[in-house]
Amino acid sequence: MPQYLSVFKDETKLDITYIPGRLPHRDRELRLLMEFFSFILQFPAKMAQRVIIFGDVGTGKTVLSQRFGVDITHEANKLGINLRYVHVNCREYRGSLFLILYHIVSVFHPTFPRRGYSAEELLRILLQILDEENAYVILALDEFESLVERESSEAVYKLTRLQEIRQDKPQRLSLICILRNLKVIEQLDASTRSTLQSNIISLVKYSKQQLIDILNDRVSLAFKPLTVPEDTISLTAEIAFSEGGNARFGIELLWRAGKYADAEDLDAVTPECVRKAVSSIIPTMRKSDLASLSFHEKLFLLGIARIFKEGQKAYISLTDAEQAYAVVCEEFNMKPHSHTQLWKYLQTLSGVGIVETEVSAAGNRGRSTLIYLSRIPIHELEKELSVLLEKEEV
């Protein structure tokens, strides 16, 4: 039996549950979070904290909170403080306060019965457990929107105003509310809003270069050396950037691309593996989009597809594309259109989402337009274009 070779060194490092040791481009936010909770390491019983982390999908909200959770728990345990970080995805618990509280209680008592009491009783039980064990909890409520939608202000009020019903007792429960959009906070009543809104960490969308750094970090952990070329990382980052700067999407895409490389017995993850991977995730190439292109737009696109097919490149220049288009025109006995016309075709192709373009940084020879064929496997594209062009020729 032939030996199974893989490009992966440890693919679990690309898993959604993996918490990396360092968070590129989120160190400032991590420090801020640590600052907000630094009191826990000195006077854990004296106060409780509430922090909001918000940002779009894939901006690192969850991983930031989890990394913080690991770090602060480690620090607290070193000082002999019984601190637990509990991360709950509210959507997974259907936004139910009862189920969320049950989850926290089950961290301390895994076989605690599921039935026979209300959310209020469960909250009291939780505090009793924390008092008895002299424990403190930082509760991270991920996808906080679900909780607000299902339980409205009431549930959040109970969590944030917990201490008011137990005056002079140690403060046990701090909150991190993780959400995509601050609008949901507007749905809460004024007093709940005011207790929540004092500490807000906003995560902005990652730039392409930041995504490259993040992907490079994960590549070094998950893949064998020299199996993921720079072009592949750049293309993956480009696609992740176009998906709203979504780092998680980029990491998953890289994993999938690695699987394609393994399936084809390749010793490296090529940009084509990324294209195949992305087209398996998002059905981006609609045949109707291709059919609606003009004859010369199709010729131009065929030229672009052929260069990518030959070179295993992540991107090409407009000049490369023009030359390839000239060859295709010769093949089809057509007179090539002008540079300006091709520029317009490129805008059309980009508008439909078949290619993506980027203006390169000014180099020795000035700026030039780079073309990415991000989401479409070349073989599929070339085949489809050939069929359409043959039909039109007839």
Partner 1 sequence: MDVEDVFSSKLRIKILKILMQVGELNVSEIARRLGVNYNTTSKHLKVLEDEGILQHKVFGRIRLYRLNEHSPKAKGVQNLMEAWEHANKQ
Residue carrying the six token digits 């160190």: 27
The binding track of 54-93 with respect to partner 1, each residue x by CB under 8 A or -, is: ----------------------------------------
Nearest to 193 by CA among 161, 149, 150: 161
Q: Which of 3, 111, 333, 364 binds partner 1 (CB under 8 A)?
A: 111
Q: What is the nearest approach in angstroms of partner 1 to the Cβ of residue 123?
A: 11
Strands (E), 180-278: 200-203
Size of the site for partner 1 (CB under 8 A): 13
What is the C-alpha to C-alpha distance for residues 198 and 155, in angstroms, rounded to an integer? 19
Beta bridge partners of 83: 136
Q: What is the nearest approach in angstroms of partner 1 to the Cβ of residue 113?
A: 5
| Candidate segments 31-39, 116-124, 253-261, 357-365, binder of partner 1 by CB under 8 A | 116-124
Positive or negative CA dihedral for 330, 331, 333, 335?
Answer: negative
Q: What is the nearest approach in angstroms of partner 1 to the Cβ of residue 100?
A: 17
Q: What is the nearest approach in angstroms of partner 1 to the Cβ of residue 104?
A: 13
Burial class of residue 158 (count of CB atoms within 10 Å of its CB; 0-12, 13-18, 19+): middle
The binding track of 122-161 with respect to partner 1, each residue x by CB under 8 A or -, is: --xx--xx--x-----------------------------
Q: Is 166 in the site for partner 1 (CB under 8 A)?
A: no
Q: Is 295 in the site for partner 1 (CB under 8 A)?
A: no
Q: Is 117 in the site for partner 1 (CB under 8 A)?
A: yes
Instruction: Tell me how many helices (H) and strands (E) the chain has.
Output: 17, 8
Q: What is the nearest approach in angstroms of partner 1 to the Cβ of residue 65?
A: 29
**129 versus 188: smaller Cβ distance to partner 1:** 129
Q: Which of 10, 27, 92, 121 binds partner 1 (CB under 8 A)?
A: 121
What is the C-alpha to C-alpha distance for residues 372 and 272, in angstroms, rounded to an integer? 11
Scan residues 340-369 and list those touching partner 1 (CB under 8 A).
Answer: none
| Candidate segments 12-20, 70-78, 87-95, 110-118, binder of partner 1 by CB under 8 A | 110-118
Q: Is 116 in the site for partner 1 (CB under 8 A)?
A: yes
What is the C-alpha to C-alpha distance for residues 66 and 49, in angstroms, rounded to an integer? 16
**117 versus 332: smaller Cβ distance to partner 1:** 117
**117 versus 157: smaller Cβ distance to partner 1:** 117
Compute the C-alpha angle 314/318/324, nearest 5°.
85
Is residue 81 within 8 Å of 44, Cβ to Cβ? yes
Give the chain's length: 394
What is the C-alpha to C-alpha distance for residues 336 and 269, in angstroms, rounded to an integer? 35
What is the C-alpha to C-alpha distance for residues 28 and 40, in angstroms, rounded to an integer? 20
What is the C-alpha to C-alpha distance for residues 316 and 183, in angstroms, rounded to an integer? 42
**133 versus 331: smaller Cβ distance to partner 1:** 133
| Candidate segments 119-127, 208-216, 245-253, 371-379, binder of partner 1 by CB under 8 A | 119-127
For residue 179, give the DSSP letter: E
Q: Is 110 in the site for partner 1 (CB under 8 A)?
A: yes
Q: Which residues bind partner 1 (CB under 8 A)?
A: 109-113, 116-117, 121, 124-125, 128-129, 132
